[in-house]
Structure 1
Amino acid sequence: MSNLTGLNTAAGPNPNKSFEVVQPPTDSVSSLSFSPKGNYLVATSWDNQVRCWEIARTGPTVASMPKASTSHDQPVLCSAWKDDGTTVFSGGCDKQVKMWPLMSGGQPVTVAMHDAPVKEVAWIPEMNLLVTGSWDKTLRYWDTRQSTPVHTQQLPDRCYALTVRHPLMVVGTADRNLIVFNLQNPQTEFKRITSPLKYQTRCVAAFPDQQGFLVGSIEGRVGVHHLDDAQQSKNFTFKFHREGSEIYSVNSLNFHPIHHTFATAGSDGAFNFWDKDSKQRLKAMSRCPQPIPCSTFNNDGSIFAYSVCYDWSKGAENHNPATAKTYIFLHLPQESEVKGKPRIGTSGRK
């Protein structure tokens, strides 16, 4: 362990020379969400807080200014923006989802409840509904003007991950279940798949064209899965976020909003950019000294936000409050890092 500490000190917390967000949370970050309408970044944290910063980009530099914050009674696990960029939804260990009219300066109100912590939340603009996934093994759809869910969908196990690209929604649960929904018929499972990965699902991301999804697991592996049976030959898995015999979790998968390449981030402290169509890694960034539990692109893909902090994967006994500072960094992707490469026959290697 002493070697690792020495390495961390030498590398510093920011080996990629990203821009540091000011006044970060006091505990680990659980989710990051950019407004769909502007450069406002929201972070939820284990310190029970939901924070928002205004991010201002001027040429090659980026500045962050704290805008507002609100709190839950217990750690907050997830966040999502309404499509008009006015409102933030946040859910967590207090078993509720709050709707925060951030841009109008209003107070948060509780709009959804579960019987266990809320792990995932997403706004579905095409349906004008909020969807929430919980460790109580249910998925619930909410009209935010009503106190009871429009529909409760039983899941086979605890909800761990959720992704929506209407009409496609994919839910990852415990026991490696991946449940696919067609939101034009949201009360029926469209397809249930056992994850192509051998270990616990950590994250999912729907393809921008809604034809499939990515799934990431605790074993440093990503599966690329197409829904159409005729496209199954295009399915593959690949492994990374590994260092010798050490295997790290893939914590975050984000598609670039313009180029439709994707980013992965993991507990090894690395983030990478990939092109699934040519099966190539576009860019590998330097490893940070702590895990990256979450990440996200802004609405035009010009800013990639990622948090660097302890992810609790090695338990409380490996948490040292003296050294485990929480960071949120902003990386400005070069086009070469996120623009897909043309396919060259079958020789494209990852």
Structure 2
Amino acid sequence: MAGLFGGSGTASTANTLGDLSKDVALTSPPSDSVSDLSFSRQSEHLAVASWDNKVRIYEITANGGSEGKAAFDHEGPVLSCHWSLDGRKVVGAGADKAARMMDLGSGGSTSTQVAAHDQPIRCVRFFEAPQSQAPMIVTGSWDKTIKYWDLRQSQAVATVQCQERVYTLDVEKNLLVVGTADRYINVINLNEPSKFYKTLQSPLKWQTRVVSCFPDATGFAVGSIEGRCAIQYVEEKDASSNFSFKCHRDPPQNNMTNVYSVNAISFHPQHGTFSTAGSDGTFHFWDGVAKHRLKGYPTVGGTIPATAFNHNGAIFAYAVSYDWSKGYASNNPQYPNKVMMHPVTPEECKPRPSVKKR
């Protein structure tokens, strides 16, 4: 069922071509490549993780304007950041093998270390423990483990060994999905956090770049380095709805197709539709149920390493900075480094009416 949406390098009809003209740049962006973006679920605040060793927090105004509100430092590039569900805390994790947290709710201006690994931490997420609703974080590292941390304790409450280095993870409700090297994907029910509910090889043939959970936690999307995305449901009864499709690739020329990494997948918090963004410098909005592309956007002038919707889906943030997809030689001082706010209109992200017979 691959290729149902067709290639996304060019928009074939005018009604699917998106408009970037109203996008607004973030004020005072990081001085080095952006690695992650995270919006608060409670307010108009955006956290930005960067290779310049900082997590910055901005307040976003109604017209897309922005103002820096806080920042905290790591001792190496920050690779991931995330907000607590109550919108009071921001956590960052990165190459210094540590996760650090700032408590904005208490008016704090400093960060505290809340996690440690033996190798760089690639990703971090807040979640609430299903039984106690206590705020916790989960970290995934290149040391081939994930660890769970209760913020009231200095030691990890549990460590889970993975098959390989952790490249990506995401949490929604009681669902945790972990993508590692060698294309392993581990599905964890947070009611039983220390064991894998299910382990599978990625349905995509090439290295996993990103996993992102559905808002209703019934499944997840996977993006690979080879311009493909897969929609995967957790339970076998829904497996007939699994499929993959091509995206982020140029139209074929002389029997050759340039393909690009899918770097980021973000789900709309209200509609359940989703975005993909990649090394080709484009992003697209998709309706996974109708298997239809809603909008495709022109190139933004640089690779897109990270994206995020705000809490009500009215703003789509995307970073434009080098993602290292072409190695060291392609990075230069002239490469753009910015974060853009795209105002989302309802017709861009609303699902199409279903034509299936019930």
TM value normalised by structure 1: 0.92
Does residue 154 in structure 1 map to residue 156 in structure 2?
no
| Correspondent of 2:248 among 219, 241, 245 | 241
| Correspondent of 1:43 among 42, 48, 67 | 48
Does residue 139 in structure 1 map to residue 146 in structure 2?
yes
TM value normalised by structure 2: 0.90
Give the SS at the match of 1:242.
coil
Aligned residue number for residue 7 of structure 1: none
Does residue 260 in structure 1 map to residue 272 in structure 2?
yes
Contact residue 302 and residue 336 of structure 2 kept, 8 A: no
Does residue 327 in structure 1 map to residue 357 in structure 2?
no
| Correspondent of 2:101 among 99, 108, 120 | 99
Please give the residue correspondences for 1:36-185 in structure 2 after superposition, counting only pairs within 5 Å: 36-57=41-62, 61-103=63-105, 104-127=107-130, 128-185=135-192
Contact residue 16 and residue 285 of structure 1 kept, 8 A: no
Aligned residue number for residue 10 of structure 2: none
One-letter amino acid of the structure 2 residue matched with residue 107 of structure 1: T
Contact residue 126 and residue 166 of structure 1 kept, 8 A: no
1:282-333 residue CA offsets vs partner (Å, 9 max, x unmatched): 1111111100000000011111000001111111111111x11301000011
| Correspondent of 1:302 among 291, 299, 314 | 314
Contact residue 16 and residue 286 of structure 1 kept, 8 A: no
The root-mean-square deviation of aligned C-alpha atoms, in Å, is 1.3
Counterparts of 2:55 and 2:214, CA distance in 1: 28
Structure 1 residue 345 displacement after superposition = 3.2
1:70-128 residue CA offsets vs partner (Å, 9 max, x unmatched): 11111000001111111100000000000111341331000100000001101112442
1:30-59 residue CA offsets vs partner (Å, 9 max, x unmatched): 0001111101111010111111111010xx
With a CA cutoff of 8 Å and minimum separation of 6, indicate the structure with the bigger relative contact order: 2
Counterparts of 1:123 and 1:345, CA distance in 2: 37
Identity %: 46
One-letter amino acid of the structure 2 residue matched with residue 157 of structure 1: E
Q: Which runs of 4+ in 1 moved over 3 A?
A: 14-17
| Correspondent of 1:186 among 171, 184, 193 | 193
Contact residue 82 and residue 88 of structure 1 kept, 8 A: yes
Aligned residue number for residue 280 of structure 1: 292
Give the SS at the match of 2:61.
strand
Count, aligned residues: 329
Give the SS at the match of 1:243.
coil
Counterparts of 1:306 and 1:89, CA distance in 2: 19
Consecutive unaligned residues of structure 2, counting only runs of 5 or more, are: 1-18, 252-256
Aligned residue number for residue 341 of structure 1: 352
Larger mean Cα displacement after TM superposition, 226-235 or 162-171: 226-235
